[in-house]
Chain A
Amino acid sequence: MEKLPLFVQGKKYVAKYSHEALTAAYDRHFDMIYRICYTLMGNVHDTEDAVQSVFIKLFNSKMCFSDIEHEKAWLIKVAQNQCRDYHKQWWRKKVTFTESTKEHAVHTRESNPVLDEVMALPKNLRVALYLYYYEGYKQSEIATLLGININTVKTRIRRGKQCLKIKLGENMYGK
């Protein structure tokens, strides 16, 4: 297993991330955290805000990670909570996804019918699909990461696939 070169080896406690340690962690996990936040937020502007907040939390945290996987798992959880908190804010509770934000999101990436349909799924299904198909986590690991029952994970992945199948037809299955 890869060691954390910038951590103080042999110590169980890291007082606070140094700039170097944070930059290294940022390089390791930035893309993943960005994708998770985008998956949950649905537009670039809010995603950038959320990603920034996640790494500021890491910078200020006093967590001791046993390895990179532990660090990664913690960041995934924080990212999820950050996005959830963001949606709790008062204007978001009552704001629907407006045309302008949709437009912004579409213009910042190439159109992809599969991704468009993935982004139209409920958030909890999107995250389960992302962690399972893209990050390659096992269903049991996703259950631990998200703090939910493994059967719920299975249901979410199955339901996500079913929805995509219905919306995209058989083509995505290569038939």
Chain B
Amino acid sequence: MESKIKNAFEQISPSNTQKETILKNVLNPKKISPKKHTREKVFIGISAAVAVLTLILYLVPIYPAPNVAFALSVSDEEDGRIKIMDHYRERKNYTSKVSNVNSRPSLEFYIEGKDIAEIELTCENEYLYVVDWTKTQEEKFWNPEVYQTFDEATQRSTFYPERLYDKTVKLTFSKEFNDYDQIWYRWTAWDLYTWAAEDNFSKFQGVGVAEKKELSQKERLNIASGDNGTANGHILLEGYPKEKLQDKILMKITDHEGNVEIRTIYINIINNEIGQTVVNAEFQTVVNAELK
């Protein structure tokens, strides 16, 4: 048996060409364009995703009038102009709602646009942060060293959420900036996770074991970490304040002429019938007057 397993691993052997190519890249890292790499990541993320939840706002100018810096594009679907890109569905079936199984409840999206001067996002209950591949925004959005330390010897990192998470994030853009889609916005249910992790991950459960309430501590920890290789730990929401299971992300988008558009994402977290944590999200348009 040992020899067969060993022979199997022996088959995972790189070619000399691979070896030479990778070495060249390692010795000359500047030859790898970070821009290209970032674009590749974005491309892979979008095209290869089967279950990814990505919210896309199509913000392109449709009116040639110079005093309108940007306007929403009108999509050909009937039920709204903003669609949630959902790789479970064909494009024609995209809707403005999405439901996503997520053991660490979060939501990710980016905004495509033109001539945007400022994007301000605010949420009520949980937290927001930004992943900025363009490195044009606040340093904490692109430099992990700002919010986490890493011990090279032990290979352990320590995360400081208070250095990263905010209730409000505001980004400003120059007139020359175009790479809006290379900035990703993330909503994360950190308070919920913190609550669930209390008392040695007491609120975690495995997929399909919702009915089994009496877990041993060892089982619970295994489930929470997904260490048994079979299931990720999902959060049992029972006992968490219902009002905190809902959140609202308000998006205020301002162009260089001072025009403002408002969009809202409503979020609701639930447990489904097999005990998974599910994030439901829905886009809604807010009339500007509501803000006054």
Collect the chain A residues with CB atoms within 8 Å of residue B5's CB. 114, 118, 129, 133-134, 164
* Residue picked from B8, B48, B131, most chain A C-beta under 10 Å: B8
- State in angstroms the CA–CA spacing of A46 and B111 once bound together: 27
Contact with B along A123-165 (1 / 0, CB 8 A): 1110001100110000000000001000000000000010010
Q: Which residues of A contact B229 (CB under 8 A)?
A: 121-125
Is B274 among interface residues, defined by CB-CB distance under 8 A? no
Closest to B100 in A: A94
Residues A133 and B12 in contact in the complex (CB < 8 Å), given A48-B18, A51-B22, A90-B184: no
Check B1–A172 contact: CB distance below 8 A.
Answer: yes
Name the contact of B152 in the complex, choosing from A59, A61, A124, A173 (C-beta under 8 A): A61
Is B52 a contact of A52 with CB atoms below 8 Å?
no
Q: How far is the CA of A39 from the CA of B9 in the complex (A)?
A: 8
Task: Kindly count the residue-residue contacts between A and B in the assembled complex, taking CB atoms under 8 Å apart.
Answer: 120
CB-defined interface of A163-174 with B at 8 Å, one 1/0 digit per residue? 010000000111
Query: Is there an interface contact between B4 and A114, defined as CB atoms closer than 8 Å?
Result: yes
Query: In the complex, how many angstroms separate the beta carbon of A82 from the nearest chain B beta carbon?
Result: 10
Q: Which residue of B lies closest to A172 (CB)?
A: B4
A62 to chain B minimum Cβ distance, whole angstroms, is 8
Given that A96-B51, A124-B229 are known contacts, is A59 also in contact with B12, CB under 8 Å in the complex? no
Bitwise interface map of A from 63 to 103 toward B, beta carbon under 8 Å scored 1, else 0: 10000000000100110010000000111001110101100
Alpha-carbon distance A30/B10, docked complex (angstroms): 14
How many interface residues does chain A have, given as a range? Answer: 35 or more
Bound form: Cα–Cα A96–B91 in Å: 19
CA distance A1 to B6 in the complex (A): 25
> Please, which residue of chain B has its CB at the minimum distance from the CB of A165?
B1
Interface residues on B, range: 35 or more
Task: Give the contacts of B15-48 with A (CB-CB under 8 A).
Answer: 18-19, 21-23, 25-27, 29, 41, 44-46, 48
Chain A contacts for B45, CB-based, 8 A:
89-91
Q: Which of A121, A122, A124, A130 meets B9, CB within 8 Å? A: A130
* Binary CB contact string for chain A from 16 to 30 against chain B (1 if under 8 A, 0 otherwise): 000100110010001
C-alpha gap A61/B155 in the complex (Å): 12
Is A9's beta carbon under 8 Å from chain B? no
Q: What residue in chain B is nearest A34 (Cβ atoms)?
A: B14
A6 contacts chain B at the CB level, 8 A cutoff: no
A35 touches B29 (CB 8 A): no
Contact A133-B11, Cβ < 8 Å, known A81-B155, A101-B48: no
CB interface residues, B 47-78, toward A, < 8 Å:
48-53
Contact B230 A122 (CB under 8 A): yes
Binding site for B on A (CB under 8 A): 19, 22-23, 26, 30-31, 34-35, 38-39, 48, 51-52, 55-56, 59, 61-63, 74, 77-78, 81, 89-91, 94-96, 98, 100-101, 109-110, 112, 114-115, 118, 121-125, 129-130, 133-134, 147, 161, 164, 172-174
What are 6 inter-chain pairs, A to B, with CB distance below 8 A?
A35-B9, A94-B53, A115-B11, A122-B230, A134-B5, A164-B1
Q: Please provide the 6 A-B residue pairs with the shortest distance between their CB atoms, ordered closest to farther.
A: A122-B229, A91-B45, A115-B8, A114-B8, A134-B9, A55-B26
